[in-house]
Structure 1
Amino acid sequence: MRTGSEPTTARSALRARFWLSVWGLVWAIFGTTVFALVGRPGWAAACGVLWLVVTVDMTVILKHMREGPHYQPGRDIPPYRPPESRPR
C-alpha cells in the first residue's frame, strides 16, 4: 500500500553503495594512472576529478554506516499515515 510518504521513510542500501564506490574508485585510480602514463593529461585530469568525487562519496557513505540506524517509531506509532477510511 502506498501512502505518499515514501521519500521521507526511504532507506538506502549503504553496503551496496559502498561496494559500488569501491568499484568506481578502483577504475578511477586505474584510469588516472593509465592516462597519465600514456600522455593524455586531459583524460587523466578527468579521471582524477572522478577519483575525488568517488572518494568524497565513499566518505559520506562510511559516515552514514558508522552513524547506524536513526529514530524508528515504537510499536504504538505506525511507520506511515494510516489511510483515511472511506465509506463504501
Structure 2
Amino acid sequence: MRDPRTGPTREPVSRARSGTIGRRFPRTGTEPVTARSPLRLRLLLVAVFLPLFLAGTALFGTWAAWSDAGDSPGRGPLILLAVVCGVLALTALLDLTVVLRRLRRERGTPH
C-alpha cells in the first residue's frame, strides 16, 4: 500500500516475530508464545539511570583530575569508577536505542 502524501505505509510488526526474517532460534522451553519484553519499564529505567551514570562519569572524572598524590581515594580508583560509569552509560544508551527502535516498529511508524 502506498499513500501519495506520506509515502509507503508500513504495517506494525508484532512482537511474536523475534528476528528480522523470523525467529532466530526455535522455541525450546515452556515460555508463552506471546511473551513480551517490558519495553516501557526499560524505557523508564534508561530515563533514570542514563543521566545518573553520565553524572557519575563527570563527577569521578573531575574528582580524579583534581586529586593529589596523597589523597584518599587515590586517582586510580576514581578513574576506574569514572570508566565503569561511562561503560554503564554507553550500555544504557544502547538499550535506549534498541527500546525506541522496537517501540517504533511496534507502532508501525517509519524510522
Report the number of matched residues. Answer: 66
State which of 66, 88, 92 in structure 2 corresponds to 1:50.
88
- Residue 28 of structure 1 pairs with residue 66 of structure 2: no
Counterpart of 2:87, as a letter, is: V
Q: Which residue of 1 aligns with 2:43?
A: 18
Counterpart of 1:49, as a letter, is: V
Q: Which residue of 2 aligns with 1:61?
A: 99
SS at match of 2:37: coil
Instruction: Measure, in 2, the Cα distance between the counterparts of 1:35 and 1:48.
Output: 10
**Displaced runs of 4+ in structure 1, greater than 4 A?**
none
Judging by fraction of residues, say which structure has more helix: 1
Q: TM-score, normalised by structure 2?
A: 0.54
Instruction: Measure, in 2, the Cα distance between the counterparts of 1:58 and 1:69.
Output: 17
- What RMSD over aligned residues (CA atoms) do the two structures have, in Å? 1.7
Name stretches of at least 5 consecutive residues in structure 1 with no aligned partner.
71-88
Report percent identity of matched pairs: 35
